[in-house]
Amino acid sequence: MLRVIQVGLGPLGRKMVQFIAERPRVKVVAAVDPAGGIAGRGLAELCELGGAAADSVAGVVVSADLPAALVAAASFGGADVAVLTTNSAVARVQHQIAELAAARLPIVSTCEELSYPWVAHCEEAAFIDEVCKEHGVACLGTGVNPGFLMDFLPAALTGLCKNVRAVTVRRIQDAAPRRVPFQQKIGAGLTPAAFREKVAEGSLRHVGLPESVHLLAAACGWELSRVEETIEPVMAEAEITGGYRPIAPGQAAGVEQWGRGFVAEPGGEVTGASREREVVTMQFRAAVDQPDPRDEVEIEGTPPIRSVIAGGVNGDIATCAVVLNMAPVVAVAPPGLHTMLDLPPATVGR
C-alpha cells in the first residue's frame, strides 16, 4: 500500500484524491491546504467521494500545514510520497518541496515548470536537487503535458532510431466536447484584444512548452542555441457553434502556441547574427470545433517514425493518471531532482 500526502486541494488536487480513492494499493493518509474554506474540512466531503472511495479516506481531515498533516499521517504509520498540486511555477513550489523533503517525503508534482527546470530555472532546480539529496528523497515534475505527450513520448520514440535529425510534435485539441472552464481557459469567444489582455496577464498561456523542448533536446543529445515560444489566437473565420456559446467570426476560437528549439550549425540558415537549424518543433493548438484532433510525433531520422494518437488524449484524466502512475516510481527512486528521462516509465499497474 502506497501512502500519499496530497498537498494542494484545488480542482486538480481534488481530482487526484478521487483517482487515488478509486485505486487499490494506494491511499491518501493526509492532505494539506491552508486556504480558507478548505483546511479543516473532511476530505471525502471536499472531494465529493462516495461509497468505498469515501471509506478509503474515512477520518482524513484537510490540515492547514505540513506539520499537522505529518501528525495525521503518523496514525497510518507515516506516508511514502507527497503529491504536490499547488502551482505551475518552480519559484512558487521550491520552498514547499524543501519542506516536504525535510520531512523525508519523495515528491511528485504537477508543477509544469518543474518537468524540466534545468535551463529556464536552473537556480531553483539546483536548490531543489540539493535539498532532496540532503534528505535522501526523489522529486519529479510530470503530467500529461508537459510530462508525457510532447516530451517523454517523443523522447522514448527516438529510442527506435540510430540517428535523428529533427522532431516535430503536435498536440491538436478540439475543445468542443470539453468542460466550459477549459473552453474559457483557451480564450474561446474572446475578442482579439481581450485575448491579448489575458495573454499579457498570464492566465491564458499553456505553461510548459519550453520545458518540453528542452527535455526532448536533452534526449536527443542536442545543445540548443536558442528556444523560441509564440502564442496567438486561433481566429474564427465563420460562426462556430460547437462550444458552450457561439463564437462569431473575428473572435478567438482557441489558442495556438509554438515552441521551437535550434542548434547552431555552420550550414544552417542565417537568423540574425548566427547560422542555426530548427531541430525541435512543437505545435500546441486547442480550439472549439478544431478538426482532426490528435497527438502526433514525427521523427526525421533513421528509421523515420510518425506516431499518431487519433482524437488526442484527454488531458484532464491523463495528468492525474501520469502523476499517480509515477508516484510509486518516485517513492523508491534515487535522491535528487529527476525528469521523466531519468526514471522507469509510468505504467498503470505498478
Contacting positions for a second copy (CB under 8 A): 19, 22-23, 144, 148-149, 152-153, 155-156, 158-164, 218-222, 301-303, 305-311, 313-314, 317-318, 320-322, 324-326, 341-350
In the complex, least distance from residue 340 CB atom to a second copy, rounded to whole angstroms: 8
Of 111 and 220, nearer to a second copy (C-beta) is: 220
In the complex, least distance from residue 334 CB atom to a second copy, rounded to whole angstroms: 9
Of 270 and 348, nearer to a second copy (C-beta) is: 348
- Burial call 2-20: b when 16+ CB within 10 Å, e when fewer: bbbbbbbbeebbbbbbebb
Of 50 and 159, nearer to a second copy (C-beta) is: 159
| Among 261, 257, 290, CA closest to 188 | 290
In the complex, least distance from residue 216 CB atom to a second copy, rounded to whole angstroms: 9
In the complex, least distance from residue 311 CB atom to a second copy, rounded to whole angstroms: 7
In the complex, least distance from residue 137 CB atom to a second copy, rounded to whole angstroms: 18
Of 205 and 277, nearer to a second copy (C-beta) is: 277
Distances (CA, A) of 156 to 149, 300, 344: 10, 14, 11
Rounded to an integer, what distance in angstroms lies between the CA atom of residue 151 and that of residue 220? 11
Residue 44: all three cell numbers together: 471525502
Rounded to an integer, what distance in angstroms lies between the CA atom of residue 322 and that of residue 334? 19
Of 68 and 156, nearer to a second copy (C-beta) is: 156
The neighbouring-strand residues paired with 32 are: 7, 63
Of 183 and 339, nearer to a second copy (C-beta) is: 339
- What ranges in the chain are assigned the alpha helix state H? 11-22, 43-46, 51-56, 66-74, 90-102, 122-135, 152-157, 180-185, 192-201, 209-220, 315-331
In the complex, least distance from residue 314 CB atom to a second copy, rounded to whole angstroms: 4
